[in-house]
Amino acid sequence: MQSNNPFFRRYSPPRRSRNPWRTLAAILGVLALLYLTYHIPFVHNVLAWRLDSLRASIVYFFRPPEEAIFVPAQVSITQPSTALTPQATHTPAGPTPTALATRPPLPLSVSLTGFRYIDQHGGWNLCGPATLAMALTYWDWAGTRNDVEDYVKPGIQDPNLNRVERGRPDKNVMPYELEDFVDTQVAGLQAVIRVGGELDTIKQLLAAGFPVVVEKGYSERDASGRVSWLGHYLFVNGYDEASQEFIVQDVYLRTGDNGTGANLRSSYEELQDQWRAFNYLFLVIYPEAQLDQVIAALGPWADEEWANQRALELAQQESASLSGLQQFFAWFNLGSSHVRLLQYVDAAHAYDYAFQLYAGLTNDDSQRPYRMMWYQTGPYWAYYYSGRHQDVISLANTTLFETIDQPTLEESLYWRGLARLAIGETGNAVADLQEAVRLNKHFWAAIGQLEALGVNP
């Protein structure tokens, strides 16, 4: 309240008006200080992933990824038919299923040691590099997780990015990228990937002294705070028939020895269910000098075409016997197995029905596995080589703009680029391919396409 005393009015000092420029300068100064503090390596390493997770959570809140549905434009399938589960159009050469009955007897338990446990923490999406690095140490490899990351997750080449951020945009490392690292970057060692594996396949390899890396899915609270389905690599180093469990090393969990994911147990049934999501894919590393031993341990899976056919048979059986989320995985596997056998039209039909099953999934099925196309690209192969280029583009758009917080999946960009090129959108195709290479400078398929077009990657 202002006084009516004239003395007060005469001698009270005038109030200073606020200087807007001084206020703006103060705000800018605080923001600059926060920016500089954030980029101090220690502070940045602690806060960056949390801020990234917060941003992703906000995006997913307003755009729930599990609500994204891809509907193929060219084919509409309302129910399964015999046309969707065709028999193989040829009989592959090599071992036959009868070879399964001639395998040597297994010991009751195996526990391989001599590797160094490595976790994935302290960076982004490092499950693949950490698991592969751990598997390599079993064979006396002296490298680190960073060595694998530098090759398979080179990241966007920005000198302002901190080392730990380099792999952030790359949400996944494909199995072939891990295989390529071993084959080209590690002297004396090779890797082999097969699908259609069985629990006995893993046991035979372990009994012969070869640990196994499997790709699996599981439901977990992710970095954005959502409980949903994710893909994951798992290092398997033993089994116990008495307890019906595998001994595994998980690079993410902290419920094993010394608060890490070391020496955990996974029941045979649990691993079977989680492994199904990736068509029972497994990777084995072996010294070049032990090629004969790994072939013997693989048995009929040494023949890749036989393994692909075996995966098809398993998918056919499970697509008819399972329900809910597991049935979706089985039909997806059916398409993926046809792709591996170069049966693209059959594959496209199987994927069409898989996506219809996907649309029918509810939260009772632990939410739709909206990350599926982050990890597997079989539908792109099937639709592209069936001439269904618009479906390739639509699926890529759904994946890039509705299931992920940022469109940074180089594989989806690559296939959209190929499809755009096929329908005459050369400019858009080049932009997609260049963006794929920007995200991963070692993405040789995209580099090759650009070079064939006479364009600088």
Question: Do 437 and 457 meet the contact criterion of CB atoms below 8 Å apart?
Answer: yes
Say how many residues make up the chain: 457
d(CA 311, CA 172): 23
pLDDT value at residue 418 = 98
Tens digits of residue pLDDT in 75-97: 644 444 433 433 333 333 333 44
Question: Do 305 and 223 meet the contact criterion of CB atoms below 8 Å apart?
Answer: no
d(CA 103, CA 305): 19
Tens digits of residue pLDDT in 89-145: 333 333 344 445 467 789 999 999 999 999 999 887 899 999 999 999 999 999 999
Does an H or E element contain 439, and which?
A: helix 426-439
Coil vs helix vs strand at 233: strand
For helices 410-422 and 444-452, give the axis angle rounded to 10 degrees: 30
d(CA 197, CA 414): 29
d(CA 101, CA 296): 14
Q: Residue with structure tokens 């959108």? A: 425
Question: Do 281 and 233 meet the contact criterion of CB atoms below 8 Å apart?
Answer: no
d(CA 418, CA 383): 11
pLDDT value at residue 80 = 42
Coil vs helix vs strand at 122: coil
Question: Do 164 and 152 meet the contact criterion of CB atoms below 8 Å apart?
Answer: no
d(CA 302, CA 230): 29
Tokens of 224: 């954005």
Backbone φ, ψ for residue 51 (5° rounding):
-65, -40
Please provide the DSSP assignment of 42-53 as one string: HHHHHHHHHHHH
Which residues lie closer than 8 Å to 94 by C-beta, 6 or more apart? 300, 302, 303, 305, 306
Backbone φ, ψ for residue 190 (5° rounding):
-135, 165
pLDDT value at residue 30 = 73
Q: Which residues, given as ranges, of the chain have pLDDT below 50?
A: 1, 7-11, 42, 44, 46, 76-99, 101, 161-164, 365
Tokens of 117: 């446990």
Cα dist from 268 to 65, 210, 219, 220, whole Å: 31, 18, 17, 19
CATH code of the domain made up of 95-302: 3.90.70.10
Q: Residue with structure tokens 């703009």? A: 401
Closest CA to 400 of 31, 37, 63, 45: 63
Q: Could you report how far apart the first and last alpha carbons of the chain are, in Å?
A: 71
d(CA 336, CA 329): 10
Question: Do 333 and 311 meet the contact criterion of CB atoms below 8 Å apart?
Answer: yes
pLDDT value at residue 92 = 33
d(CA 115, CA 319): 38
Which residues lie closer than 8 Å to 435 by C-beta, 6 or more apart? 410, 413
Tokens of 387: 């001439």
d(CA 99, CA 111): 26
Backbone φ, ψ for residue 154 (5° rounding):
-65, -25
Q: What is the pTM of this model?
A: 0.83
